[in-house]
Amino acid sequence: LFIVAVGFLERIGFTGVGGNLITYLTGPLGMSTAAAAAGVNAWSGTVLVLPLVGALAADSRLGRYRAVLIAGVLYLLSLGMLTVSSMLQTPQPHPAGCHSTASTCSPPISASSPARLAFFYTAIYLLALAQGFHMPCSEALGADQFDPSVGASRSSYFNWFHFSISWGYAIAAIVITYIEENVGWTEGFAVCWATMVVYLVVFLLGTRTYRVEQPVNSSSLAQLTKKLTFFRTDDATTDTQRLLATGENMDDNRFLVKLLPIWLSSIVIAAATSQVSTLFTKQGSTMDRRLGAATGIVVPPAALQSFVSFTYIALVPVYDRALVPFARRLTRHPAGVTMLQRIGAGMVMSCVTMVVAALVEAKRLRVATDAGLLDRPDVAVPMSLWWLVPQYVLVGFAEVFCFIGLEEFFYDQVPDGLRSVGLALCLSIFGVGSYASGMLVWAVDWATTRGGGDSWFADNLNRAHLDYFYWILAGLSALEVVVFLYFANRYVYRKKSEQPVVLH
């Protein structure tokens, strides 16, 4: 319970910054849409690759308990620096004519000196390092509290852990983003810092109750180096096929090669869902964000990320208490469906999400054209922000199936002494997916502007073509499903009880 509470608090503090970072970059820091999206993708990629560092340190030397303590200290340091950094930004007035229901016009960056920018980037990358220690180690520490022989209980833990942190996401997306955009960025970042103080206190209060796994005797880094030696052999491809087909003992020196095809065939969904905190948010900033004509309340575009969380909150109990028992009666599998079947279902939903996002964006562009707003980015498009809700809800469906399934899969399919590393490998999928999204944005931006035309990511989104970009992601997602099914049908689990009788 302490660890679940810590996960809830951490999501409030971290997402209060990360979930609205693109608005801060294009607002107070005055970046272009393409540069801000690439910057957020690069930072998000780092956030989700650094858990490999934290997990290796935890499993080989520190232990998971001390790694979470280090995360808490780093969170306080980084968020404190970020709060100070926002105080150093000299506020400037928005250009004349900037409409209250759109946030597409921003002051220039001239007030920010290189030293202040360096201080800001140091703060957010220290925040990424803190996440690198927290993310794999806290969740793995929670899973360690369960008897490993009772797989169904641990599977249920992963579901309910995500149910809890989804409330943290929702509160950050609604409350923290509102404070940042309507009260002040300094106040918003300060609330995130205060939340992390509570995070550290709650974690320490639970110290006497934890079942703490000791780090392995030998260096995890050395073990992984040995496990990677297959890449230097001439028969690497043969080894991969043999391991997939025979299900050799995962505690041997080559377990990574067996996991590699699943890891690689999951990157596209990570790239697709990374749009939630970047391009989806920028879409929303151009639309009519008033919460009713009479209220005068303007909804921050990042607040729509809360619908991902609400989907988790609604779907996880239904999945765990209704769908799993029903599927269990049909399949006689302890978890209802295998981990890979669950992941595959999420990938299909991700493909549908990108199709819906493309159709909604195409409609937004038509409305902007009909309203004569192609060259008026300072005026909100007369189309309600709520048109974006379906794509956020679909992202939530995809994540409940795919993301939770991937976490359980990588925790379960690595040797017992490397559980944190297993979760870090899972998180690194989303890190590489964010990098891939950033590279794709850069490539498309370069290709669409080299002839003098408008970029698909033009600062004036009414002349951009995010819909075309979403169609590309939809096509890549469909291809990913095919590749994933090929490898999933040939995968043999560590425990034979996880293997389905028939896998279609």
pLDDT higher than 50, residue 107:
no
Give the whole-number percent of the chain exceeding pLDDT 90: 37
Residue entry with tokens 């809890």: 164
pTM of the model as a whole: 0.73
Greater confidence (210 vs 268) lies with 268
- Residue 90 confidence (pLDDT) above 70: no
- Confidence (pLDDT) at 146: 78
Give residue 150's pLDDT: 56
Which backbone phi and psi does 177 adopt, to 5 degrees?
-65, -35
- Residue (of 66, 69, 50) closest to 58 by Cα position: 66
**To which residue do tokens 């803190």 refer?**
130
Q: How far is CA 394 from CA 226, 281, 301, 382, 452, in A?
A: 41, 15, 17, 24, 36
Tokens coding 305? 């990320």
Q: What is the pLDDT of residue 420?
A: 80
Is the per-residue pLDDT at 152 higher than 80?
no
| pLDDT tens digits, one per residue of 373-427 | 888 888 889 999 999 999 999 999 999 999 989 988 998 888 877 788 888 889 8
76-85, 237-246, 344-353 — which is least confidently predicted? Answer: 237-246
pLDDT tier for residue 501 given thresholds of 50, 70 and 90: very low
Are 195 and 12 in contact by the 8 Å Cβ rule? The answer is: yes
- Of 493 and 491, the one with more pLDDT: 491
Instruction: Pick the more confident residue, 461 or 75.
Output: 75
CA distances from 445 to 8, 64, 90, 353 (A): 37, 42, 31, 22
pLDDT at 195 (0 to 100): 95
Superfamily, domain 1-91+113-209:
MFS general substrate transporter like domains (1.20.1250.20)
Asked whether the beta carbons of 220 and 213 are under 8 A apart, the reply is no
| Greatest Cα-to-Cα distance within the chain, rounded to the nearest angstrom | 70
Query: CA angle at residue 348 from 393 to 415, to 5 degrees?
Result: 100
pLDDT score recorded for residue 233: 40
| Residue 102 pLDDT | 44
Each domain of the chain, given as residue ranges in start order, spans 1-91+113-209, 240-495
Instruction: Judge contact between 244 and 271, C-beta under 8 A.
Output: no
- Averaged over 336-352, what is the pLDDT? 92
Would you say residue 148 has pLDDT above 80?
no
- Confidence check: pLDDT of 494 > 80: no
pLDDT in tens, 170-226: 899 889 988 998 899 999 999 999 999 999 999 999 888 887 766 655 554 555 555
Q: Which fold has domain 240-495?
A: Growth Hormone; Chain: A; (1.20.1250)
**Block residue for tokens 């902007």:** 368
How far CA 200 is from CA of 91, 189, 394, in Å, comes to 33, 17, 33
Q: pLDDT tens digits, residue range 36-88?
A: 888 888 898 888 888 888 888 887 888 888 999 999 999 999 999 999 988 88
Q: What is the pLDDT of residues 4-30, one digit of tens each?
A: 999 999 999 999 998 888 888 888 887
* 95 has a pLDDT exceeding 80: no
Q: State residue 118's pLDDT score.
A: 87
> Would 1-91+113-209 and 240-495 be classified into the same CATH topology?
yes
Higher pLDDT, 143 or 485: 485
For residue 223, the model assigns a pLDDT of: 53
The per-residue pLDDT for 293 is 66
